[in-house]
Amino acid sequence: MQDILNQLQQRRDVARLGGGERRIEAQHKRGKLTARERIDLLLDEGSFEEFDMFVEHRCSDFGMQDQKIPGDGVVTGWGTVNGRTVYLFAKDFTVFGGSLSEAHAKKITKIQDMALQNRAPIIGLFDAGGARIQEGVAALGGYGEVFQRNVMASGVIPQISVIMGPCAGGDVYSPAMTDFIFMVKDTSYMFVTGPDVVKTVTNETVTAEDLGGASVHAVKSSVADKGYENDVEALLQMRRLIDFLPASNTEDAPDVPTDDDGERLDSSLDTLIPANPNQPYDIKELIHKTVDEGDFFEIQEAHAKNIVVGFARVEGHTVGIIANQPMVLAGVLDSDASRKAARFVRFCDCFNIPLVTFVDVPGFLPGTDQEYGGLIKHGAKLLFAYAEATVPKVTVITRKAYGGAYDVMSSKHIRGDVNYAWPTAEIAVMGPKGAAEIIYRSELDDKDKIAQRTKDYEDRFANPFVAAERGYIDEVIMPNATRRRISRALNMLRNKQVENPWKKHDNIPL
Ligand code: HXC
């Protein structure tokens, strides 16, 4: 009996060594952890339950029958994060470069099926060279099986991808269909075709970093939601993110007890808005002062900074925050900001996370650049996302809410549940100067007259009361009471029930 137990132990030891000491050392030299080290950091200590440790590929081409490594380049299983179940798979770059074979794909799809059936989040850690080249079409079939499951799980369980090394070819599209992609700076990159192919096809010379590093995807392309400094930071932040999320679309996010009183007032907010309406202020100050303990998990922090989105809690319950940022482009809505916020709003709506929106928006960004780039369609994404959302929606207009952007930013007209305005709010079709110059075009040459017309318009419309008179906002509130008002509104909305008409699915402008 002892012999049998020893044999199992030996087989486990071999499997756990993956591609062997030399390749593990090479992995460490590059500043990367191994798949198993990553899992240990991500999960609660000792909670990992592994599946399929002894799975091997069945390829016999190109001498592969003599090269078998148990596990076949991916470590899969489940465990807990702060006591809550998550499923995961971690590509093992030390085994055939983490490349995907038919058997490797089956390990992943088994985990995907279990995560969906048992309704818990799934996390993929990527560090891989794409399709197992020796397997050809069998690998392509494997990818297809993974992709289909990504789509079936979308909107049912949270799916998170962390890119921690190469992620190329077939490997990019599974992450792209998950809810969030995070990267590690300098050691990870994502592209459909690598620098060599780019050189051959387009004659462009580019490094892997410049083609698909975190500096590209978390900033320019928006493919990734954030880049972290190293593996450890990325994994610890994933634990933090999981705490904000429900296990599935039929569950609520966990309550996290807090000592931060929902009734807390903050008098410093009474002076947040500068006297000059064109002077910026940092909307993140309002976010931090409103949410529990200032704890804010920002998504896409480095992309389209004119809008800020992320998770926080109010009285222990997760909320999704969406806020125009006056510090960047005056908080204007452009194509990137609209797409960024739309995707976030839709994630929250899928997963029963109430939306808290802070509005200070001078409108949509004018210009050929934006119009040629499809601003109408991208702006419509955000409008669509807010309008279809059935989760509780609480909105606070701090300053400008001009034009179409007023409607878009979770207004009453698109089913905002509780819409507040600070006394500094200006809810109007456009800024006073622009308005006067259009209505009194014939007086444009007379500067004094236009100044007077501007002042008249400002006096009439640059306030929240015209909208309040119509019930477009529910109450003009003191800035210092923002947290209290939001807490109470969210409590009042806790049992909200709204259903959209039956449809196969909607047709959001893509
Ligand atoms: C089999 C692979 C592999 C692959 C890497 N390896 N990629 N084995 N299939 N796709 C193996 C290497 O042979 C090597 O084995 C080990 O992994 C480490 O690879 P290195 O090249 O030594 O590492 P590095 O220099 O860091 O380069 C990493 C890399 C490079 C950039 C990922 O390996 C690479 O370019 N690989 C090929 C990428 C690719 O073209 N994949 C196919 C994409 S097509 P040893 O034994 O020496 O340790 C695709 C289509 C799917 O994915 C589309 C579906 C929609």
On the question of pLDDT at 185 being above 90, the answer is yes
Report percent pLDDT > 70 for the chain: 100
Bridge-based pairing of strands 393-402 and 317-324 is: unpaired
- Amino acid residing at 248: S
Confidence bin at 68 (pLDDT 50/70/90): confident
Crossing angle for the helix pair 432-439 and 447-461, to the nearest 10 degrees? 120
The pLDDT of residue 495 is: 96
**Which tokens sit at 188?**
């990870």
pLDDT at 119: 98
Tell me what percent of the residues of the chain surpass a pLDDT of 90.
87
Evaluate if residue 64 carries a pLDDT over 90. no
Atom 46 (ligand 1) nearest CA: 96
Give the active site residues: 169-170, 404-405
| Residue 458: predicted pLDDT | 85
Residue 142, ligand 1, Cβ within 6 A: no
Average pLDDT over residues 11-33: 96
Nearest C-alpha neighbor of 119 from the set 151, 155, 91, 162: 155
Classify the phi-psi angles of 289: left when phi > 0, otherwise alpha if psi is within -120 to 50, otherwise beta.
Answer: alpha
Q: Decide: 43 and 75 in contact? Cβ < 8 Å.
A: no
Q: How far does residue 26's CA lie from ligand 1's centre (Å)?
A: 15
Buried b (16+ CB within 10 A) or exposed e, 244-265: bbbbbeeeebbebebebebeee
- What b/e readout covers 121-147, taking b as 16+ CB neighbours within 10 angstroms? bbbbbbbbbbbbebbeebbeebbeebe
Pocket test for ligand 1, best of 96, 145, 172, 192 (most atoms within 8 A of CB): 96
In one-letter notation, the amino acid at residue 139 is: A
Read off the pLDDT of each residue in 356-365 and give the average, rounded to a whole number. Answer: 96
Residue 373 has pLDDT above 90, yes or no: yes
* Whether the predicted pLDDT of 388 surpasses 90: yes
- Structure confidence at residue 467 (pLDDT): 94
Report which protein residue has its CA nearest ligand 1's atom 30: 129
pLDDT at site 90: 98
Q: What is the pLDDT of residue 434?
A: 84
Give me the mean pLDDT over the 428-448 stretch: 86
Band of residue 422 on the pLDDT scale cut at 50, 70, 90: very high
Query: Tell me, what's the pLDDT at 492?
Result: 98
**Is the pLDDT at 205 greater than 90, yes or no?**
yes
Whole-number average pLDDT of the chain: 95
Q: What is the pLDDT of residues 136-177, one digit of tens each?
A: 898 999 999 999 999 999 999 999 999 999 998 889 999 999
Residue 67 pLDDT > 90, yes or no?
A: no
**What pLDDT is recorded for position 509?**
97
Q: Is any atom of ligand 1 closer than 6 Å to the C-beta of 97?
A: yes
Q: Is 472 left (phi over 0), alpha (psi -120 to 50) or beta?
A: alpha
The answer to whether residue 311 scores a pLDDT higher than 90 is yes
Instruction: Give the global pTM.
Output: 0.95
Protein residue whose Cα sits closest to atom 47 of ligand 1: 96
Stretch 241-267: mean pLDDT: 97
**Confidence at residue 460, expressed as pLDDT on a 0 to 100 scale:** 85
> Could you tell me whether strands 297-299 and 307-314 are parallel, antiparallel, or unpaired per DSSP bridges?
antiparallel
* Mean of pLDDT values over 353-364: 97
Whether pLDDT at 227 is above 90:
yes
All residues at 6 or more sequence positions from 46 whose CB lies less than 8 Å from its CB, including other chains: none
- What's the length of the chain? 510
Q: What pLDDT digit, counting tens, does each position of 44-62 carry? A: 999 999 999 999 988 888 8
Contact (Cβ atoms closer than 8 angstroms) between residue 132 and residue 161: no
- Give the alpha-carbon dihedral of 253, 257, 259, 265, to 10 degrees: 20
Of 17, 32, 66, 133, best ligand 1 pocket probe by most atoms within 8 Å of the beta carbon: 133
User: What confidence category does residue 443 fall into, taking pLDDT thresholds of 50, 70 and 90?
Assistant: confident
Place 356 in a pLDDT band, splitting at 50, 70 and 90.
Answer: very high
Q: What is the DSSP string of 358-387?
A: EEEE--BPPSHHHHHTTHHHHHHHHHHHHH
Contact (CB, 8 A) for 101 and 68: no
Residue 308 CB-half CA count within 13 A: 26
Query: Directed axis angle between helix 231-244 and helix 35-42, to 10°?
Result: 40
Mean pLDDT of 440-464: 87
**CA separation for the pair 330, 400 (Å, rounded):** 10
